[in-house]
Amino acid sequence: MSRSVMGSHPDETLDRVCLALREQQTPAFPDPDIVWPTSEEKVPRSSPVFAKTTSRRFQLAAVAATFALAVGGFWIPWNGPGNQAFAQVQDAIRKLNSVTFRLETFANNAKTASYDISFVSPDYVRAEGADDVHVLNNEASKVMDLFHSQKRAEIYPIYDLPSVSRRVLGAYGQLLQLEAQAEMEVAEKVLDGQKVLEFSTSFDGATANVIVDAETHLPIRISVDRGKDANLNSVIEVIDQFSFDETIDASLFAISAPAGYVVEATDALPPDTSTKAYAISDESGLGPAKFGASKPEVIAMFGEPDKIVTREGTKLAINGNDPNFVPDLRPGGNVRWEPADPKYTIDELQYDSRGFRLRVSSKDGLTSIHCFDTNAMGPRARKFLGATQEGIGIGSSWDEVIGAYGEPTTKLDNQAAMYRNPAFYFDFKSARVASIRVRARDAEEE
């Protein structure tokens, strides 16, 4: 995936910028000049299959030309209201035993990634790219990621199958999740001599153009407008080259790494509802863990993390001393990282099975909190069940967030909102909060 904004630690860029903003006079925040990363940029080892991709892509001219062939189309209700047409498409998809297709993503007409996806209902998905493979095996309740150039494999549990399936299958999977919509119109057209039906719908915060076979109601092409990425590229996702109900080799879905690969395996942990009682605060911390708590103190409160990631501390370097400085996170922008002096370490304590991560530095203790669900952090995560002191939690709506905190200091479309005081950063998926990040008000740079 290439939506990384800058440096080697995009997960922390917003935390750093929040601190820089709090130390400055309030500038006029233009929108959309400040470009904040979305949650996919924070998912470790994420791939274009598990997140919206935004790298370079090939020319869309062929796609545009294909759509241009569908001339003379006229908007008519098909088989009654348009929503009935859509429901019939969903019904045709649900009856399939297997499907294969290609998923490609484009930024400014250049191809960034291509994945061949195989799906056997209801338990198996395989997505194969040029250097990486991702296998979902619900029967085993596991996901496996293979990285061929590194000869590395990661195997981890599935905590939320519907969410994971939706992310793996991309726009195609969304067709299985939607209910028929009122006022939906369907166009009857001829494409390359084939009678087709075309309609547009919105899902996953994006707009999709769907072309299906007029007789079978099965998809031929799905094109999704993903809007702008962090570099202001126009992002399109195209799904085509469908094949239905063909026999697929079961060994393709085995959770077994090739010989010679280094395997990192994570065991499934039982559900833990203790996070219901945890309040998130930029003044105090998370539940019993207060900002400034040491690594041993945090572990004593929450138990051993699922995983600990350690790195050297860095600091945010800003080009220029303008008091009205507005951080630009795009490549070549005015923010960068540099090694901290004196040196120190940062441990990220990952409690993904409970829906949160805590960053603890060797000099300042607990400085940063990240709470989330599967939509934000992938299949190895569970939903965080707590909330802010104002009652905002995972799943809260835009209206609820604005009702609690007012209009955000800045936002990226309908995907993210950042507040300076209190210092919260909210990621949204389908207009609902998918992750909450907060940093200690007096924390130094990391």
Question: Does residue 29 lie within any of the structural domains?
Answer: yes
Global pTM?
A: 0.61
Q: Are residues 19 and 98 in the same domain?
A: no
Mean pLDDT, the chain, rounded, equals 74
Q: Are residues 84 and 140 in the same domain?
A: yes
Q: Single out the residue in 265, 293, 319 at which a domain terminates.
A: 265
- Flag the least confident range among 9-18, 34-43, 160-169: 34-43
Confidence class of residue 371 from pLDDT cuts 50, 70 and 90?
very high
Q: Are residues 75 and 183 in the same domain?
A: yes
For 274-322, what is each residue's pLDDT tens digit?
Answer: 899 999 998 889 999 999 999 999 999 999 998 899 998 887 766 555 6
- Domain containing residue 129: CATH number: 2.50.20.10
Which residues constitute the domain of residue 297? 10-43+270-439
- Flag the least confident range among 43-47, 164-168, 264-268: 43-47
Q: How many domains does the chain have?
A: 2
Q: Single out the residue in 239, 265, 291 at which a domain terminates.
A: 265
Q: Are residues 37 and 109 in the same domain?
A: no
Question: Does residue 5 lie within any of the structural domains?
Answer: no
Q: Are residues 274 and 259 in the same domain?
A: no
Please tell me which residue, 60 or 133, carries the higher pLDDT value. Answer: 133
* Strand, coil or helix: 439: strand
Distance of CA 30 to the CA centre of its chain: 25
Measured N-to-C along each axis, helices 161-177 and 82-94 cross at an angle, to the nearest 10 degrees, of 130
For residue 374, which of 32, 1, 40 has the smallest C-alpha distance? 40
Q: Are residues 164 and 251 in the same domain?
A: yes
Q: Are residues 118 and 248 in the same domain?
A: yes
Distances (CA, A) of 355 to 52, 256, 404, 430: 21, 27, 22, 19
Q: Is the pLDDT of residue 47 over 50?
A: no
For 172-231, what is each residue's pLDDT tens digit?
Answer: 555 555 544 555 678 888 988 899 988 887 656 677 888 999 999 898 998 888 877 767
Confidence class of residue 243 from pLDDT cuts 50, 70 and 90?
very high
Q: Are residues 204 and 285 in the same domain?
A: no
Question: Does residue 50 lie within any of the structural domains?
Answer: no
pLDDT for 433 equals 93
Q: Are residues 391 and 378 in the same domain?
A: yes
Question: Does residue 446 lie within any of the structural domains?
Answer: no
pLDDT for 84 equals 65
Specify burial of residue 312 (Cβ count, 10 A radius: 0-12, 13-18, 19+). Answer: exposed
Q: Single out the residue in 219, 239, 265 at which a domain terminates.
A: 265
Q: Which residue has the tokens 């998370």?
A: 286
Looking at the DSSP bridge assignments, the partners of residue 101 are: 117
Question: Does residue 141 lie within any of the structural domains?
Answer: yes
Q: Are residues 298 and 252 in the same domain?
A: no
What per-residue string of b and e applies to 380-399 under the rule 16 or more CB within 10 Å gives b?
A: bbbbbbbbbebebbbbbebe
Q: Are residues 189 and 283 in the same domain?
A: no
Question: Does residue 282 lie within any of the structural domains?
Answer: yes
Q: Are residues 163 and 119 in the same domain?
A: yes
Question: Does residue 49 lie within any of the structural domains?
Answer: no
Question: Does residue 336 lie within any of the structural domains?
Answer: yes
pLDDT for 436 equals 95
Please tell me which residue, 412 or 391, carries the higher pLDDT value. Answer: 391
